[in-house]
Structure formats: structure tokens, C-alpha cells
Structure 1
Amino acid sequence: MPHPYKTTSSRSAEEPQRRRILIADDDPNIARFIQITLENPQYEVVAVENGLEAIKTFEEGEFDVVILDVMMPYVDGFQACERIREHSDVPIIILTSRDGTDDVVHGFELGADDYITKPFKIAELMARLESILRRVATRNVRKAPPVVRVGELEIDEPRHRVTVRGNEVALTPMEFELLYFLAANAGRVFDRETLFREVWGYEYVGETNLVDVCVRRLREKVEVKPSHPRIILTVRGVGYKLADT
């Protein structure tokens, strides 16, 4: 299982909590613009120009968020996302300029946590960053029990550990967040809009099916027969719920 959030864990508790962000975009103007705009006492931003540099830089340092453009030379954003996700649960945001949802869905399947379509407003990027960092920061101050057990499923929230039928299951950060939310509210039905708001941290974007993709990925990992789920159930015309038995 990837190490939960290879981020600021080795920093001294007395050091300022300045978040480190890695941005990879082959357009130096965009990368530099994001770097200059985000750089402040709260954020330190490191910019690189391709996926290969992103992987190397990430492995050599500690970062709280990684932002990857899809179209890059040598190693593209998808490949970089997959490589980083093999060893870390650090939040990853995908940037895409292509129309349609294929890039979004593919990036999510590789372990990305969020996406932004180019062109975008810097305020939107800031909102996504703050939402992701807020989720990470509040993981240990939830109202729900730290360990949730529902049937054959056990979720140890503080340790970021999930077991099904006694076997540990590796989840991406967003898969974990969605499963934990459903398990903490087992038996309750949630529509996609509510799940998007509660788990992703901002209002639902109707043209995407990220919730459905995340549910499908979770079923592949926790269900005996994903095509006939018994843990994460679909309520037709409404949304999803986690079975409470």
C-alpha cells in the first residue's frame, strides 16, 4: 500500500506549515504564472516542464500537492501520475485542455484526486488547492468514529487503512475519502451532488461522472463480484449507499 501522503511528515513541528506544491507543465509561461501567483507565505511552489522532471523532483523532495498537465513531452501527465501514485498518496490535480471527459476519467482511474480544465481562473485553482489541503488537514478531527466497521469492511481512519474480509486494500486518497464517508453513514442514500460536495469539497460539476468512476473503482477493490455489488449499492434514480449489514 502506498505510504499515506508523502508530504510534510518529516518536517519539524516547530517549523511554519508552509505547503509545498509541485507543478509540471510544458508551457513555461503557464508554469511560471502559476508559480508566481501561488507563491506566498502559505505556499512554496516548484515548477518543472515535463513529467520526467516531475517524477524526479517529487522523489527528491516532499510535497503536499502535485499539479500535472496532461500533454507533456517524454513522460506525460498520466504516466507521471501513475508513477507517483505507486509510491505515494499525495493529492494530485490533473490539468487538461482537451474537450470531453476522457482525460478526466482516465486521470481519475490512475489515482488523480481532482482535475481542472484549461483555460482556468487562478481563483478556481486556489479553491481546489484549499479544498484538498483542508481535507488532508481535517482527517484527524472528524466527528465519525476513527475506526468504522460495517459487515466485512473495516476502515481505520487515523492509519488510512482499509481491510475487507481481513485483507488490506490499497486505495487512492479520494477512494478512501468516499468509502469512509459512505461507511460512516452506512444505510443512508446520497445523490451524486451531495457526495461530490461532501467528499470533493465543492459543488458538483454535472458534466463529469467522477463519482461514478470512483464508485466503480472502489467496487473493483472491495467487492467479491464488482458487477453484483453487495457493499456499495446503487439506488436507482437517487445515488449510492453503503450496505449497513
Structure 2
Amino acid sequence: MKLLIVEDEVKLAEYLHKGLSEEGYVVEVAHNGVDGLHLAMEGTYDLIVLDGMLPGIDGMGVLTALRQSRQTPVLMLTARMRVEDRVRGLKAGADDYLVKPFAFTELVARIEVLLKRTRPLPASHEALTLTIVDLHLDLARRRAERAGKRLDLTAKEFQLLSLLMRRQGEVLSRTEIAEQVWDVTFDLGTNVIDVAIRRLRAKMDVPFEQPLLHTVRGMGYVLEVRAE
């Protein structure tokens, strides 16, 4: 899931970027209304967190311009306490409103609710649960289990396992994994993929008898059942 944060308070923007990234979101930041509107119109985001008071173009101006052609969910942040201000924002097309100061946990909860509300329902043929042998992944509840035991996965590990299970039997290169899970189209320049795979394997393979996650030398990784 990709989010755009439009917030001119640099420390708050950095805090939101760090916190939401740790929650598993891909986050981009703009510090004024002009840049925020440009990114919102040119990029593809699942949700926009928009400050109400911005330099260049204020949040209401960004929202009004955005709604002429885009219906991306917008959660507005504001220091304005008046009910009239919130009503004006909602009528202009905001999907939710959060008044500063706010608790980060509430922000995350509101984002999750908005994403669930606006996410298209899966087609009847699209499984909400992925399974390979005794490994089960519940996409709706974001829960992973193997042999009846719950796997304690981070957000990135869940995304990685989801990708591998959706593409089980296919060898996925490090580049493709980086694009799909970390949303980057260039060499990360580190062993971040290998480290993530190692940590995932330690949780979903090492404690169990049958390994499912395999390394294909010089090519990448694959999730599949192999004959002993």
C-alpha cells in the first residue's frame, strides 16, 4: 500500500514517514500544497494524508483540485477545532478528518478503516486464503499459520510471504521482490532482500520438518514443495 503525506511541519512529516513505513506502507512526503497536488495528480497512491494548512496551496485547495479528476481516499489533518471547518472539508471530498494533536495509533486505525472501505471487493475467484501444504495465509485478517501455529511476522515479512505464495512455484528474482515488496525499481545496494528471506525462513521453515522456501543460485527464491 502506497501513501502520500502532505505536511509542512518537517518533524511531524518525518515522524509520520518513519511510523507508517514501520507499519508496512510505502510512504512519500510533500512539504507544501503545490508539490503535494503535483504528486497526488501524477502518482498512484492508495491514500493521501493531507494537512489542512499548507504553504503554496492550502489543504482545501489541494483537495478541491484533486477531486476534479481523482477519487483517491483523503484523510485530512487539521489544527482547526471548529465543526464548520470539518464539515467544509468533508463536503469538499475528504473521506475522514483528524484533529491535531492526535495519537499515532488512531491515525493508523483510521487509515486502515479507509483502505478497507475503499478497497475493491475481490473477485469471486480470488482467494482470501492462500495455502501450500500446512502453511496458510489469511489475507483479510493478515494472519499466517503453519501446522496450526501462528507465525509472528512483521508487515514486510507478511508482504514477502504473500508475494511468494501468490507466485508459488515461480522463481522470483531479487529485483522483482524489491519492486513488489519495497516498491523500488533499482538495486537496493544492500543485502536487504537476503536478510528478509533469512528472517522469514527462520520463522516459517526452520521450526518445521518440511522446507518450503528455497534459494535458486544466481536466480532468486521460490516457494514450493520439493520431493526429498
Pick one of 107, 126, 132 that aligns with 1:150: 132
The reply to whether residue 63 of structure 1 matches residue 108 of structure 2 is yes
Write the distance in 2 (CA, Å) between the matches of 1:157 and 1:65: 19
Identity %: 25
Q: Could you tell me which residue of structure 1 aligns to residue 193 of structure 2?
A: 211
Q: Could you tell me which residue of structure 1 aligns to residue 150 of structure 2?
A: 168
Change (3 A) 1:175 1:192: same
Partner of 2:190, secondary structure, is coil
Q: Could you tell me which residue of structure 2 aligns to residue 240 of structure 1?
A: 221
Q: Per-residue deviation at 1:58?
A: 1.3
Q: Is the 8 A contact 1:234 1:240 kept in 2?
A: yes
Matches within 5 A, 1:77-226: 141=122, 144-224=126-206
Partner of 2:221, secondary structure, is strand
Q: Which has the higher contact order (CA 8 A, sep 6+)?
A: 1
**Letter aligned with residue 103 of structure 2:** T
Q: Per-residue deviation at 1:44?
A: 3.4
How many residues are aligned here?
154
Partner of 1:188, secondary structure, is coil
Change (3 A) 1:171 1:30: closer
Structure 2 alignment gaps of length 5 or more? 16-28, 37-49, 51-58, 64-73, 80-101
Give a deviation string over 1:128-165, Cα, whole Å, max 9, x none.
Answer: xxxxx99x976964875221111221111112111011
- TM-score, normalised to structure 1, is 0.47
Q: Is the 8 A contact 2:6 2:32 kept in 1?
A: no
- TM-score, normalised to structure 2, is 0.51
Q: Could you tell me which residue of structure 2 aligns to residue 98 of structure 1?
A: none
Pick one of 63, 72, 76 that aligns with 1:44: 76
Structure 1 alignment gaps of length 5 or more? 6-18, 48-55, 67-89, 91-132
Change (3 A) 1:36 1:202: same
**Letter aligned with residue 57 of structure 1:** A
Q: CA RMSD in A?
A: 4.6
Give a deviation string over 1:36-69, Cα, whole Å, max 9, x none.
Answer: 354343353589xxxxxxxx8314x323799xxx
Q: Is the 8 A contact 1:154 1:164 kept in 2?
A: yes
Larger radius of gyration: 2
Write the distance in 2 (CA, Å) between the matches of 1:180 and 1:163: 12
Q: Could you tell me which residue of structure 2 aligns to residue 230 of structure 1?
A: 211
Q: Is the 8 A contact 1:20 1:62 kept in 2?
A: no
Q: Is the 8 A contact 1:22 1:58 kept in 2?
A: no
Change (3 A) 1:234 1:159: same
Write the distance in 2 (CA, Å) between the matches of 1:26 and 1:207: 27
**Letter aligned with residue 36 of structure 1:** N
